[in-house]
Chain A
């Protein structure tokens, strides 16, 4: 079977069991399974998978090392392109990236690239393999704003080049979406996220939490008064959107950000933490992306029956295929081609239900996706006691509104060059969701790398 059409199955917690705990769903490959799955890679000369990876990891090369059991070598090869393999192996939408391009996928399953990457990264962690700090410091001070994937990657790369880097983070914990957004059962906080952050720190990067750039200190002050020679902005896209329908401010209606932050960052699911969270009995989650899946599966674990309400059909669900699959296994109910029009409340303004309208797919819109249109007269009600709005997010204007000469576009995204992260303001670079709007971990990481390169070139040219 090893070289067969099907991938080596990965061990997972039973759906019934995991629906009641916050432990990681996917248990990952062990050594033997990883080596066996690696055998399926054809080691293509013209490897299509590489073109599907936004940071162009040399996939056939690292998999060849896995085949041989040289996991440390494999880790080094991945490390040339990616700073957060334990994260990306878990959360990349592989089916539309690396694995989507794998020739093995034409007939049968694509090689499990993500699971192999995860295995290599976890193995390296267990065996105490760390990135190597710069031999010599160059004395130049760089500030990085935000400790999500973009900021962590940029800081790590600059530190390896010898820069003296400080990350400023608004929240009390580093990690960005990896800490506050993506739940424990997909991305373990201590084992994976904290370990990645420790790696970055071990390169000499300082992290100052509880500093909101634009409030606690401005970018102009960092440059003028605190001796930083350049700044990288990786502040993400954290502002939640709401629909603007009646009843949306009722008690029991939350943004996915609030719900997930309470649960993940503030650890509301644990009895020993003080922050409260609503335990709905029947919960509606509005939206169809990764954020919606995470909110839905969190609510399920807190004891609710959960409905995901999405206005297009299953084929258009923007979430990773694996998350949709897991959600279904766990018993999440999908109300597709359905759109909320009103949230119903009792006389104390608590949620009692959600009124929806059925949709059908019409002509494709500008994005190429078929546009959902309402079917007149098809309204119906679902009885729920909690609603979680997961409609997307946009960048926070806190920084752009307090930084002189920093251009943003119509969508409040910072304008930056893709190759270097260079913005309209001298010495200021940016990347990740703050520039692109809500995207993916790997793209943010790639932008962090580009920013580090851009900053290095800038400092060198200034001191040439």
Chain B
């Protein structure tokens, strides 16, 4: 059993938990994920590692309850435990293995959408600890859904935006990125985009236009997370890739997002579909026109 040390609601329907998992904490790096299972009957749910403490042997996860399984998880309290918790899975972010002096020369911008803010945080923190302060654009639907603001601003130059203008400014992450590059003279060598697939797709369309190489973190349906089932397969540059072992981070300009979004719908429950509509609603209309899988 994997004991939960802390459990709290970060924002409206976004939960954060600190879980004892010494083997994972000892070996994980930014960009990797875990798979958790609440109880005997539960599903295996993949979640990005949002923070880790090697000394305390703990991992922090942040998630949004969607269907049956994630709802079951949100009711767990400090002192309760997950039955299963395995990781670290997937490849660490590419910069973890880059030469640090070379990396320092790079101008990096992060674009986070919704809960995607959580996985961006360990990357910013890692860079900050290595003397690099990146720009970070966080887009949320509305003020209540802005998470980790304090933590993020301590390790990055933070730009917040809300779809409805209820906090800081009105607009989407892509609007801010365009503004920074086209009006404020910013130049970037790398963009890292993490959030709902539709948001990553639109960031990639923009960065292709702006000529900024872009890394995205894919979250397809998974079962084992070790390369055994193929549920997580994606097309990246016309090659089949398994997100759990080859990713989850890929060159966003090569990912076939339309296919990935259709595949993600495969087992969605009614609640899941409703939430997806809500989450991605603003970008749905006049967007890709491909996400008819909702119905």
Contact = CB atoms under 8 A, between A and B. Distances in A.
B130 interface: no
Contacts of B27: 215-217
B83 A216 contact: no
Interface residues of B, number: 39
B37 interface: yes
A255 B86 contact: no
B273 to A, nearest CB: 13
A171 B259 CA distance: 28
A255 B263 contact: no
Interface stretch (B103-111, B115-123, B224-232): B224-232
Interface in A357-406: 396, 398
B68 interface: yes
Nearest to B234: A249
Q: Chain A contact residues: over half helix, strand or loop, or mixed?
A: loop
Interface string A168-186: 0011100000000000000
- Listed residue (A172, A262, A278) with the most chain B CB atoms within 10 angstroms of its CB: A172
Nearest to B263: A251
A216 B86 contact: yes
Contacts of A171: 224
A172 B226 CA distance: 12
B266 interface: yes
B169 interface: no
Contact of A349 (B44, B229, B259): B259
A217 B228 contact: no
B210 to A, nearest CB: 29
A109 to B, nearest CB: 39
A211 B87 CA distance: 7
A249 B223 contact: no
B245 A257 contact: no
Interface in A206-241: 209-212, 215-217, 238-240
A136 interface: no
A261 B43 CA distance: 12
A273 to B, nearest CB: 5
A210 B43 contact: no
B262 A349 contact: yes
Interface in B233-290: 233, 235, 240, 245, 259, 262-263, 265-267
A258 interface: yes
Contacts of B89: 212, 215
Contacts of A211: 23, 86
A32 interface: no
Contacts of A347: 292
B83 A172 contact: yes
Contacts of A262: 223
A396 B227 contact: yes
Q: Chain B contact residues: over half helix, strand or loop, or mixed?
A: mixed
B233 A172 contact: no
A242 B240 contact: yes
A341 interface: no
Contacts of A396: 226-228
B41 A273 contact: yes
Contacts of B157: none
Contacts of A244: 240
B293 interface: yes
Given A171-B224, A254-B231, A216 B240 contact: no
Given A255-B230, A257-B230, A209 B23 contact: no
A242 B259 CA distance: 17
B142 interface: no
A254 B263 CA distance: 11
A94 to B, nearest CB: 28
Contact of A172 (B84, B229, B240, B292): B84
A210 B224 contact: no
A170 B86 contact: yes
A272 interface: yes
A210 B88 contact: no
A124 interface: no
Nearest to B291: A348
A276 B267 contact: yes
Contacts of B262: 251, 348-349
Contacts of B265: 251
Interface in B7-28: 23-24, 26-27
- Listed residue (A212, A217, A273, A348) with the most chain B CB atoms within 10 angstroms of its CB: A212
B76 to A, nearest CB: 15
B42 interface: yes
A217 B229 CA distance: 22
B63 interface: no
A255 B23 contact: no
A42 interface: no
A216 B24 contact: yes
A31 B271 CA distance: 54
B263 A249 contact: yes
B223 A212 contact: no
B227 A238 contact: yes
A398 B227 contact: yes
Contact of B84 (A210, A249, A267, A275): A210
B186 to A, nearest CB: 37
A266 interface: yes
A434 to B, nearest CB: 13
Nearest to B41: A273
A403 B276 CA distance: 41
A251 B83 contact: no
Contacts of B43: 266, 274-275
B81 to A, nearest CB: 13
Interface of A: 170-172, 209-212, 215-217, 238-240, 242, 244, 249, 251-252, 254-255, 257-258, 261-262, 266-267, 272-276, 278, 347-349, 396, 398
Given A239-B228, A258-B230, A348-B262, 7 more contacts: A172-B86, A212-B87, A216-B86, A240-B228, A254-B231, A257-B230, A349-B293
30 contacts: A171-B224, A210-B85, A212-B89, A212-B226, A215-B87, A216-B27, A216-B86, A216-B87, A240-B229, A240-B230, A249-B235, A251-B266, A252-B266, A254-B231, A255-B229, A255-B230, A258-B230, A258-B231, A261-B228, A261-B229, A267-B41, A274-B41, A274-B68, A275-B223, A349-B259, A349-B262, A349-B293, A396-B227, A396-B228, A398-B227
